[in-house]
């Protein structure tokens, strides 16, 4: 593999998350969640905002203002699609800030609007 995808799947970035970061709609909530993880790794704030549900989207993201995270890996635990427009994805993302290791364990909610999946919100789970 010449350019492994940050999302952890065994595929090159150009055949995995890059099409979604370049504007193609993700086929399901898990693909969108993986592409959002890749966007965090790459610092792609415009994609993160564009893939956030309009009802819950923050005004701005300023990833560069915070101490940068070094993303270490993603593990998808569960993907459930409830109907054509609603799904959840449980995942654990590992990262370091200032040399300290952290885990983000979340159940994220996704909603499809006009044929596109969006991240709505999520619940953090205890470590």
Per-residue pLDDT of 12-33, as tens digits, reads 999 999 999 999 999 999 999 9
Domain assignment of residue 36, given as a range: 13-124
Q: Is residue 18 part of a domain?
A: yes
Report helix, strand or coil for 102: strand
76: its two tokens: 């998808």
Q: Report the Cα–Cα distance between both ends of the chain, in Å, rounded.
A: 33
Per-residue pLDDT of 44-76, as tens digits, reads 999 999 999 999 999 998 887 677 889 999 999
For position 20, what pLDDT does the model report?
Answer: 98
Q: Is residue 8 part of a domain?
A: no
Q: Is residue 119 part of a domain?
A: yes
Q: Is residue 4 part of a domain?
A: no
Provide the CATH number for the domain around residue 88. 3.10.450.50
Given a cut of 70, is residue 106 above it in pLDDT?
yes
Q: Is residue 59 part of a domain?
A: yes
For position 2, what pLDDT does the model report?
Answer: 84
Q: Is residue 76 part of a domain?
A: yes
For position 1, what pLDDT does the model report?
Answer: 65
For position 127, what pLDDT does the model report?
Answer: 60
Q: Is residue 5 part of a domain?
A: no
70: its two tokens: 């070094």
| 79 Cβ contact list (under 8 Å, min separation 6) | 28, 29, 30, 87, 88, 89, 90
Residue given tokens 């370049």 in the structure block = 22
Q: Is residue 70 part of a domain?
A: yes
- How many structural domains comprise the chain? 1
Per-residue pLDDT of 90-104, as tens digits, reads 999 999 988 899 999
């Amino acid at each position: 593999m010449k350019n492994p995808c940050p999302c952890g799947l065994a595929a090159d970035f150009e055949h995995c998350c890059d099409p979604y970061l370049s504007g193609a709609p993700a086929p399901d909530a898990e693909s969108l969640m993986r592409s959002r993880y890749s966007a965090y790794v790459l610092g792609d704030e415009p994609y993160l905002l564009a893939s956030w549900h309009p009802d819950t989207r923050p005004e701005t993201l300023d990833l560069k203002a915070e101490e940068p995270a070094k993303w270490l890996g993603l593990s998808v635990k569960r993907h459930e699609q409830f109907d054509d427009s609603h799904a959840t994805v449980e995942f654990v993302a590992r990262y370091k800030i200032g040399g300290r290791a952290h885990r983000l364990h979340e159940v994220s909610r996704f909603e499809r609007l006009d044929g596109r999946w969006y991240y709505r919100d999520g619940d953090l789970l205890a470590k």
